[in-house]
Structure 1
Amino acid sequence: MGQVVDFVAVSTQGLESSPVADALAGLRANEARYFKNKYDHDFTVTPADEDPTTIAWVTDILSSERDITIASQPLEVAIADVDGIHWVHVFYDSGLAVNVLYTLAEAGKRAVGFKLSQGRDVPEELSGFKFARQKSKLAGEIRGTYFVIKQEHDPGV
């Protein structure tokens, strides 16, 4: 059973081991608000160690598509299946959030997004990407980037 993220009363629950728990909680709340407003979906997170299959799926996509290995520890996972899209978010203790947008239809959009919590430096493994800035009432300034997924990666849904 997961925890529904409250974007009104932002909490660090589940993120306490992160040195940037407050900023990461704001980033997580920002994602929760997006899913509630766009899809009327409650953004629910579970501890990463309770969902090793999803962590392995995201890790495989990063590795096979761009030879990326995230150096920090995953703390939480969120899965949202809305409008024919399988969305997976992984929140890392470094303040990084990785999201995989995987349209289930064959010709649909598929991409990996990276978002950095306010004040976090770009991790070495993502230094080749250019990050855009976005303002958020919940998360301050978020920096983000993405790449398009080219190969097939069975999400198992």
Structure 2
Amino acid sequence: MSYVVDFTEVSTVGLESSPVADALAGLRANEARYFKNKYDHVFTTSPASEARETVDWVHEVLASERDIVIASPPLEATEFVVDGHRWAYVFYDSGLSINVLYALEAGGKRAVGFKLSDGMDVPDELSGFKFARQKSKLAGTIRGSYFVIKGEH
């Protein structure tokens, strides 16, 4: 069952099993606010079990680009196209959020972003990345990193 993410009343719906559920819900709400304000897009997630194709695509990009396998189980995912870009998000039990930005036209921006919820440790599989900090009213302190996608996916 899909969930329209509300960024005015932050809810842990779908994320309850995470040890950092409140911070992860804030992170998810932060993303929802960004897409609503920038693109007038309503950010809607589905349980990972119902969004298998999205989760598999994100995992394929991670594995083929950087040999990364995420240890934490995925909880929710979403995929949509706005402004000529395919976006995919996966939210994990550990508090990790991964997004893939993939321009539909050749030569456009293509990258993978990682965001760590407030209170979670850097997962071992991402220990080689440097994380910058940003403050969010919805999510507290978010630590983020990214890499540029070189291949076709």
Structure 1: 4+ residue segments shifted above 3 A: none
Give the deviation of 1:2 after TM superposition: 1.8
Distance in 2 between residues matched to 1:130 and 1:35, nearest whole Å:
25
Give the deviation of 1:120 after TM superposition: 1.1
Matched, 1:145 2:145: yes
5+ residue gaps, structure 2, are: none
Structure 2 contact 133–144 (Cα < 8 Å) conserved: yes
| Matching residue's letter, 2:2 | G
Distance in 1 between residues matched to 2:39 and 2:151, nearest whole Å:
27
Q: What is the aligned partner in structure 1 of residue 66 from structure 2?
A: 66
Cα deviations across residues 71-109 of structure 1 (Å, max 9, x unaligned)? 000000011210000000000000000000001001100
Larger deviation: 49-58 or 65-74?
49-58
Q: What is the aligned partner in structure 2 of residue 90 from structure 1?
A: 90
| Matching residue's letter, 2:96 | L
TM-score by length of 1: 0.96
Provide the alpha-carbon RMSD of the alignment: 0.7
Secondary structure of the structure 2 residue equivalent to 1:76: strand
Secondary structure of the structure 1 residue equivalent to 2:26: helix
Matched, 1:36 2:36: yes
5+ residue gaps, structure 1, are: none
Distance in 1 between residues matched to 2:56 and 2:79, nearest whole Å:
14
**Number of equivalences:** 153
Larger deviation: 123-132 or 77-86?
77-86
Q: What is the aligned partner in structure 1 of residue 103 from structure 2?
A: 103
- Identical pairs, percent: 73
